[in-house]
Amino acid sequence: MNAFFKLADLVVAATFQYEYLLKQCKDYVVRRPLSVDMEISVSSEDIAKERAKDNNGGFSNGYIESLAFYRKFAEQAAAFDCILFHGSALSVDGEGYLFGAPSGTGKSTHSALYRRQFGDRVEMVNDDKPLLRRMNGGFYVYGTPWDGKHHLSQNISVPLRGICFLQQGPINEIRKLTFFEAIGASLGQIYRPEDKEALSKVLHFTQGMLQSVPVFELKCTISNEAAELSYRTMKGAYNV
């Protein structure tokens, strides 16, 4: 099967075997363009390799092919100042905020608190694997169809205004991370390519992003007050 997808404003000519990927990316399909930024073909060998990475024996070949495709995209995207970040991204009043944490810590829960606290001012960008891209001197967060078990995402992009790493805690408290603390926290959440040149580009991108976008650590409860604290702090820091 063949299709053209547009991810993070990058046009991809895709060749794949299973309809799962086409259905998953239906909101990102574009008509045949005049030019493409990258070509990605997923083979049976790629699917087998992807399945072996996490011992995903219970998932369909179509689902595994989708993971293999996104991995290949992330490998090539580094050349376009674009990286994959494991986190939950949302927009408040058209400005993007990104939450990172180990799986199960509460990224999706914190994003849900934003929707409850701020209502229609909030749009979900992507609840699991958004893309980040440097464009025109700024950093942007993009929705993707790889959006977690709740499938919360939109095909939109917004300027990235703050990053917050979450920890569960008995009270709500937030602090700004030093650059080196932010690097350490981010390395566990970004996709690190196998190709050395691509990895170098990802690390360079991450360094530039963390020097431009304020980064915080939030220890929090499951409360609207936690969402209010993280939003007020991140927005205030960016406007300084």
Question: Tell me: the pLDDT tens digits for 181-237?
Answer: 999 999 999 999 999 999 999 999 999 999 999 999 999 888 899 999 999 999 988
Q: Are residues 35 and 8 in the same domain?
A: yes
Three-state DSSP class for residue 18:
coil
Locate all alpha helices (DSSP H) within the chain, ordered by sequence: 19-24, 44-54, 61-77, 107-118, 179-187, 196-212, 224-239
Q: Domain total for the chain?
A: 2
Compute the average pLDDT of residues 109-135: 94
Q: Are residues 197 and 137 in the same domain?
A: yes
Spatial CB neighbours of 39, under 8 Å, sequence gap ≥ 6: 12, 13, 14, 15
Q: Which domain holds residue 64?
A: 2-80
Cα distance between residue 234 and residue 221, in whole Å = 18
* Domain finish residue from 45, 63, 80: 80
Cα distance between residue 78 and residue 101, in whole Å = 22
Q: What does the pLDDT read at residue 103?
A: 75
| Strand ranges of the sheet holding 2-7, from the earlier edge strand across to the other edge | 2-7, 10-15, 38-41
Q: Are residues 121 and 187 in the same domain?
A: yes
